[in-house]
Amino acid sequence: MSALFEPFTLRSLVIPNRVWMAPMCQYSAEPTGPDAGVATDWHFAHLAARAIGGTGLVLTEATAVAPEGRISPADLGIWNDAQVNAFRRITDFLKARGTVPGIQLSHAGRKASTAAPWLGGGPVGPDAHGWTPVAPSPLPFDEGRPVPHELTADGIRDVVDRFREAARRALDAGFEVAEVHGAHGYLVGQFLSPYTNRRTDEYGGGFENRARFALQVVDAVREVWPDDLPVLFRISATDWLTENEEDEREGWTVDDTVRLARELRDYGVDLLDVSSGGNAPGVRIETGPGYQVPFAERVRAETSLPVAAVGLITEPHQAEKIVAEGRADAVLLGRELLRNPSWAQHAARELGAGPRVPDQYLRAV
């Protein structure tokens, strides 16, 4: 029996296998008007194809809890009922195919209001449906980026409320997994890292203060999310600053991640989705197959929190080994699922497990 194709249980939810789809922004929603942030036929086809292909859990792209929380004006949102209604079509289809639908709840913070990557990815202003971002501290992401507004205490409370309401809407939309996006230099991660958080109030300074916002967001989500359904948290295990001896900038570390994982567990998080980077520009990262797996492995070894590994996991036997050796409880695939929506079916065949194939496609088995 393949470890990769063993079901995995989180609370009462049984996910049919350990091949999961990582959130990947599509930059394909309307930027303004009544359809702003609403899932389109593109999003349906994109997510449905991976369910048809046998993926066990499909997570949406970073889905903004507020208009100003979008990475780009063309991102998905979950701040109104029109967005809820559009998502129901997707979640209904995924569940009918035996795939668990999950949503990543996000706020981009200082990295908001940018163009799609194929349009350069730079900041956009009001003439291109943009806005001034917000952040823990008034520090631009990089040269040429706007200085964000520093969130006030009231503004922080408002964002926490937005996460709560977004989770409530996500449940109404049919999602069974909620993931808080605390990685890649977006707002929650900005609060966590001393590189981006220079506040002197209760949300800045030492670890406990910098972690306060993340824990309040998780608390708000868990408050409205059913006890029998799981909440995930995506983390950048490191800013890749202290790992580079020549880089004198202070950032978030793997030690910090292990410490936070223990607190997240106590706040009701069921699994840590372990990625890295994205918070500081100009960072040197040595990548390679499975280069982020050791971060997930350490969290799993030092806490009782389940983990998912991500990052250049491309081959079935590579993924199988990660799970079989207990380095992670699941793998999240990104680009590889863009290349091959049926990766899970192909991997199941290669590993000797029975692929999950729709009746309409049985002639191809």
Catalytic center residues: 186
Measure the CA–CA gap between 131 and 128, rounded to whole angstroms.
Answer: 9
Q: For the chain, what percentages of helix, strand and coil (3-state, to nearest 5) are there?
A: 40, 15, 45
What 3-state DSSP class applies to 186? coil
CA distances from 346 to 34, 119, 355, 360 (A): 40, 34, 8, 17
Residue 277: CB atoms within 10 A of its CB come to 20
Measure the CA–CA gap between 158 and 8, rounded to whole angstroms.
Answer: 35
Measure the CA–CA gap between 206 and 364, rounded to whole angstroms.
Answer: 57
Is-contact 351 4, C-beta < 8 A?
A: yes
DSSP state of 135: E
- For residue 105, what are the contacts with CB-CB under 8 A and spacing of at least 6? 63, 65, 78, 163, 166, 167, 170, 178, 179, 180, 181, 221
DSSP state of 136: S
**In this structure, which amino acid lies at residue 234?**
R
Q: State the sign of the Cα–Cα–Cα–Cα dihedral 334, 21, 73, 225.
A: negative
Q: Classify residue 363 by burial, with Cβ atoms within 10 Å: 0-12, 13-18, 19+.
A: exposed
**In this structure, which amino acid lies at residue 199?**
R
Residue 17: CB atoms within 10 A of its CB come to 25
DSSP string, 259-307: HHHHHHHHTT--EEEEE---SSTT------TTTTHHHHHHHHHHSS--E
